[in-house]
Amino acid sequence: MKESKNRQRVIRASEIGQWAYCSRAWWLGSIKGVPSTNTRAMAQGQKVHQQHGRAVWAASALRKVSMVLFAVAAVMLVAALLFVR
């Protein structure tokens, strides 16, 4: 991976994990550019991470929707109590 002289290299969390597991593999892949022979497992890992990311996004969206619906229900309850009197 070639970097320009004025640009700093960004180190990602996955690289830190790879370095912690095997610094030699990190050096070969990140610095020397030698491709990994474990591409099938890495592709499967990316797929699982993407699925997890979608599930987290959906959970967050559902949480926001539930909060809005709760607020609407609370307003409707207050309005109903005010109009009953």
Q: How confident is the model at residue 51 (pLDDT cuts 50, 70, 90)?
A: very high
Give the model's pLDDT for residue 59: 98
58, pLDDT greater than 60: yes
Mean pLDDT to the nearest integer, 64-81:
97
State how far the Cα of 70 lies from the Cα of 51, in Å rounded to an integer: 28
DSSP, residue by residue, 43-76: HHHHHHHHHHHHHHHHHHHHHHHHHHHHHHHHHH
Is pLDDT of 3 > 70?
Answer: no
Give the per-residue pLDDT at 5: 67
Per-residue confidence (pLDDT) for residue 4, from 0 to 100: 57
Q: Quick one: pLDDT at residue 2?
A: 54
- Which of the pair, 59 or 4, is modelled with greater confidence? 59
